[in-house]
Structure 1
Amino acid sequence: MENTPSATIAARFEAQRQAFLKEPNPTWEARLSRLDRLLALTDANEAAVVAAIDADFSGRAAQETRLAEMFVVRAGIRHAKSHLRRWMRVKRAPTGLHFRPGYNRLMPQPLGVVGVVSPWNYPFQLALAPALAALAAGNRVMIKPSELTPAFSALLERLIAGAFDPDEVCVVTGDAETGKAFTALPFDHLIFTGSTAVGRAVAQAAAANLTPVTLELGGKSPAIFDPSCDVDVSVERLAFGKLLNAGQTCIAPDYLMVPKGQAEAVAGKFSTAVAKMYPSLVDNPDYTAIISQRHRARLVELVDEARAAGARVIEINPANERFESNETRKLAPTIVIDPPADTRLMREEIFGPVLPILEYDGMDEAIARVRAGDHPLALYWFGTDRGARERVLGETLSGGVTVNDCLWHIGQEDQPFGGVGASGMGAYHGEWGFNTFSKLKPVFYQSRLNGIVLFRPPYGQAFERILGLLKRVT
């Protein structure tokens, strides 16, 4: 994968900007055509996308790519197509009595050129889900995929070039320096998915151009087992959510809290659930590898530090395989019981198949632990106690929540997806994505006959009487 020269990036941006100026409000038919081409691209190239991502990961479960990437993007495109006419309509808005017979309308308009910076962990979904929302809203789109997935990034560049004119959608490939040049462009909106640290740098670069940003970040997303939960069912659902993509998911449960005295029992059930899904690991195509040796080494360091600090570490290795010579970079699922709060494992987002288990003594303690850190991107609560559930929902703040399962709130096209605080800002998916990449322009239509003339100078008693009346009735 080659770096796209800075001059080329700037030229592509300018070409899109000029194309937008010529077509500032694309018709429904034009937007539908772009969505149709994106859907056709997705349908026709599933095998190639699966193969490219598998190569980049040195072992990525094909079913995970098809479910978490291809299926999600298809669903998003189809949802947008079926609702696009309604989203595009000028909407009625209430009008105050004192402004009638004038009336208000809300007019959605495209912003212009949207930049998409996508990560390596779900490279297809997190490049095209924002892109489809921006296209539905009538924008031009430039995509900068991750340099950590070179095979996929090169494939995406070819596929987009074959389906779209470069002034509609284009892909820019390259390393971190290319990313800096990309985020320095004066986009009309920029969406970034990735780490909080890089997200801060992206926001600073965008601020120089007053470019609005949507940041989809991450953080330490907790899972809570309430005393009322069915532990066997909950553990199986948690294991799937934690180990999908080997834990390399921004909304993966980062750590688990269980009632006091239950950590060992839950760890045993979790191990059993993992062995049921993955009877072997090294050569099992269902179990995904870590994206790079550097990321794998970091995960090992996190576990080793926690072990040295007194935590109990349980490696789940059902077939007793050796991982030292594993060229696919796989890492055995690992449980860490009661790691100290000051270890890196409990301070950093894990982003891998490592699950800390902590015990809590009462719901007050569980809620306090969640609130002590940054607002997480996701929170998972398991149980049947409605009162406890509503306390957790009401007293914690997170980007989104799934109750009695993991991950599935991200797939709801009729709900927004996004973070809060350190886990991100802004939201997309469904109509929220359309609105994010639109300017919802308020328009007030004044009538020929109106009472506004009474507010003009010269001021006098009539003005005071009218203003006094309005103060009482508005």
Structure 2
Amino acid sequence: MKNDLPGVASLDDLLRAQRDAALRAPYPSWAERAAHLRRLRAMLFDHREELAVALDADFGQRSKAELLLSELWLVKNEIDAALRHGKRWMKPQRRTTGIWLAPARAKIMPQPLGVIGIVAPWNYPILLSLGPLVCALGAGNRAIIKMPELTPRTSALFERMIAASFAREHVAVVNGDARIGAAFCALPFDHLLFTGSSAVGREVMRAAAENLTPVTLELGGKSPAIIGPNARFDTAVDSIIAGKLLNAGQTCIAPDYVLVPRGSEAAFIARARVRVAKLYPALVRNRDYTSIVSQRHYARLVRLANEAATAGACLHALADAPSDAARRIFAPCIATGAPADCALMREEIFGPLLPLVPYDTLDDAIRYVNARARPLALYFFDDSRTNIERMLRETVSGGVAINETLLQIACEGLPFGGVGASGMGAYHGYEGFMTFSQMKPVLMQSRLSARGLLLPPYRRRFSAIIDLILRF
């Protein structure tokens, strides 16, 4: 059942085949949807060893433990939550009609959209392809997934896995270069979900606009971590370093910079060095530490660090051994004193470089965050309820974690999504079900109806009734 998609023309044929199949079976039962989700879960765990080998080869070094923890476990949780709650999500929701339409009835009926397009990124190709797919299948849709070019072995394996588990008219995988990717995003899907950079997200939105295709954009940006005046300092540093170094910082919700109380920079660096030594002893040879995905991305990190240093920043190595360019192992590093206009402070870093920015008051920290594009995630460390409420009310971000990093994405009941430059729309759990459903409003008129009282000719009786309605 191997997908054969040699060129752009085949994309149209594939979309047409899936749409025709959706029209033949527009509203799958919950039993059918649950069977698809169980099949997806079995596929994932049957191939977990192969996926670990493929990802390790694609990255040069990718921690198997991180794959199991940050991709397979999260997808399994997503599937299990959909299996627990999906039947209830499918049920129509009763709504009120208001007194003047009684005794009519109203409801919201969740209906599958049809065919969903999913564009997955290279940093977490399994999680960020299957996570949206779980939501799409739970909502009763069909889906086509464009896998990333930078992980060719994983993408090819994933295509074979899907082809062996699902009919081509139900779930299909597309692999190919930028030309295929651009053509994919220009298809008239019923909904398109893209995960990737803000720059590419703009192009995706332009392409989707030609067909008025609704989009969910999961982008990135510079997610801040703020250590508040009443934080447990060492605990905060430990959490920030752990969140930053997962997948060597190649995580869209990784802390991108840290706002610290002025004067605590040296203490942060000292604690960070202790933490790195504990998490990744003999870091350059440590199999738990992931390499940078490509030479181009490694060179970009070197450029960011060198440009910041040239502009006056101080770079503080957090590991004893230097980076290994041949193996693309980039040793974690903290930057202090980086000018606001250097690339390190403007671009999403996507690697184990971490700028520290001192602040004097919490007002200053909040102003600093609000003066920049709205981030995908915000992390605040403080034990003061007043400070926490201020941070929640006075900043805008896609999501927030208090006294923690990254784990908001693992919370079953929370949606995941950006705001402003960090994206639009959300998925996960019930919000994912809604994203890929038409929440169709339905009014069901009763045999008894006051409609006749509101029709022309508009004479004295109508005037009395409308006057009563407007004054009620």
TM-score of the pair, normalised by structure 2: 0.98
Aligned to 1:332: 331
CA–CA distance in structure 2, aligned partners of residues 374 and 273 of structure 1: 30
Asked if the contact 1:4–1:178 (Cα under 8 Å) also holds between the matched residues in 2, the reply is no
CA–CA distance in structure 2, aligned partners of residues 242 and 108 of structure 1: 39
| 1:383-462 alignment, distance < 5 Å | 383-462=382-461
| 1:49-68 alignment, distance < 5 Å | 49-68=51-70
Q: Indicate which of 34, 39, 48 corresponds to 1:32.
A: 34
Aligned to 1:86: 88
Aligned to 1:47: 49
CA–CA distance in structure 1, aligned partners of residues 428 and 354 of structure 2: 29
Aligned to 2:191: 189
Measure how far apart 1:82 and its partner are: 1.0
Aligned to 2:72: 70
Q: Which runs of 4+ in 1 moved over 2 A?
A: 1-4
Gapped regions of structure 2 (runs ≥ 5): none
CA–CA distance in structure 1, aligned partners of residues 138 and 208 of structure 2: 23
**Offset from partner CA, 1:246-298 (integer Å, 9 cap, x none):** 00000000000001111111111111111111111222100000010100110
- 1:355 is the counterpart of 2:354: yes
Asked if the contact 1:3–1:175 (Cα under 8 Å) also holds between the matched residues in 2, the reply is no
What amino acid is aligned across from residue 364 of structure 2 in structure 1? Answer: E
Aligned to 2:373: 374
Aligned to 1:469: 468
Measure how far apart 1:49 and its partner are: 0.9
CA–CA distance in structure 2, aligned partners of residues 404 and 4 of structure 1: 49
Gapped regions of structure 1 (runs ≥ 5): none
Aligned to 2:146: 144
**Offset from partner CA, 1:19-42 (integer Å, 9 cap, x none):** 001001111111111111101101
Measure how far apart 1:407 and its partner are: 0.5
Give the 3-state SS of the residue equivalent to 2:83 in structure 1: helix
Give the 3-state SS of the residue equivalent to 1:171 in structure 2: strand
Asked if the contact 2:298–2:330 (Cα under 8 Å) also holds between the matched residues in 1, the reply is yes
Measure how far apart 1:472 and its partner are: 2.6
What amino acid is aligned across from residue 120 of structure 2 in structure 1? Answer: S
CA–CA distance in structure 2, aligned partners of residues 268 and 131 of structure 1: 43
**Offset from partner CA, 1:356-392 (integer Å, 9 cap, x none):** 0010010111001100111000000001111111111
After superposition, the Cα gap between the structure-2 partners of 1:92 and 1:295, relative to the gap in structure 1 and judged at 3 Å, is same
Give the 3-state SS of the residue equivalent to 1:444 in structure 2: strand
**Offset from partner CA, 1:115-142 (integer Å, 9 cap, x none):** 0000000000000000110011111100
| 1:137-216 alignment, distance < 5 Å | 137-216=139-218
CA–CA distance in structure 2, aligned partners of residues 139 and 213 of structure 1: 15
What amino acid is aligned across from residue 385 of structure 2 in structure 1? Answer: R
Measure how far apart 1:208 and its partner are: 0.4
**Offset from partner CA, 1:308-327 (integer Å, 9 cap, x none):** 11111111223x3x435x43
Asked if the contact 1:427–1:436 (Cα under 8 Å) also holds between the matched residues in 2, the reply is yes
CA–CA distance in structure 2, aligned partners of residues 436 and 416 of structure 1: 10
CA–CA distance in structure 1, aligned partners of residues 420 and 4 of structure 2: 35
CA–CA distance in structure 2, aligned partners of residues 466 and 410 of structure 1: 54
Aligned to 1:242: 244
Asked if the contact 1:110–1:139 (Cα under 8 Å) also holds between the matched residues in 2, the reply is yes
CA–CA distance in structure 2, aligned partners of residues 410 and 57 of structure 1: 23
CA–CA distance in structure 1, aligned partners of residues 18 and 27 of structure 2: 14
Measure how far apart 1:3 and its partner are: 7.2
CA–CA distance in structure 2, aligned partners of residues 132 and 385 of structure 1: 38
Give the 3-state SS of the residue equivalent to 2:118 in structure 1: strand
What amino acid is aligned across from residue 343 of structure 2 in structure 1? Answer: R
Number of residue-to-residue matches in the alignment: 470
Measure how far apart 1:241 and its partner are: 0.3
Give the 3-state SS of the residue equivalent to 2:290 in structure 1: coil
Aligned to 1:20: 22
Give the 3-state SS of the residue equivalent to 1:114 in structure 2: strand
Give the 3-state SS of the residue equivalent to 2:284 in structure 1: coil
Cα RMSD of the aligned pairs, angstroms, is 1.2
Measure how far apart 1:461 and its partner are: 2.2
Measure how far apart 1:55 and its partner are: 0.8
Asked if the contact 2:276–2:319 (Cα under 8 Å) also holds between the matched residues in 1, the reply is no
Give the 3-state SS of the residue equivalent to 1:359 in structure 2: strand
What amino acid is aligned across from residue 329 of structure 1 in structure 2? Answer: R
Percent of aligned pairs with the same residue? 52
What amino acid is aligned across from residue 138 of structure 1 in structure 2? Answer: G
Aligned to 2:229: 227
What amino acid is aligned across from residue 20 of structure 1 in structure 2? Answer: A
Measure how far apart 1:5 and its partner are: 1.0
Measure how far apart 1:328 and its partner are: 2.2
CA–CA distance in structure 2, aligned partners of residues 359 and 353 of structure 1: 19
Aligned to 2:122: 120
CA–CA distance in structure 2, aligned partners of residues 315 and 204 of structure 1: 41
CA–CA distance in structure 2, aligned partners of residues 465 and 197 of structure 1: 59
| 1:255-274 alignment, distance < 5 Å | 255-274=257-276
Give the 3-state SS of the residue equivalent to 1:95 in structure 2: coil
What amino acid is aligned across from residue 341 of structure 2 in structure 1? Answer: D
CA–CA distance in structure 2, aligned partners of residues 223 and 274 of structure 1: 18
Measure how far apart 1:2 and its partner are: 10
What amino acid is aligned across from residue 36 of structure 2 in structure 1? Answer: R
Asked if the contact 1:306–1:343 (Cα under 8 Å) also holds between the matched residues in 2, the reply is yes
Asked if the contact 2:238–2:272 (Cα under 8 Å) also holds between the matched residues in 1, the reply is yes
What amino acid is aligned across from residue 461 of structure 1 in structure 2? Answer: R
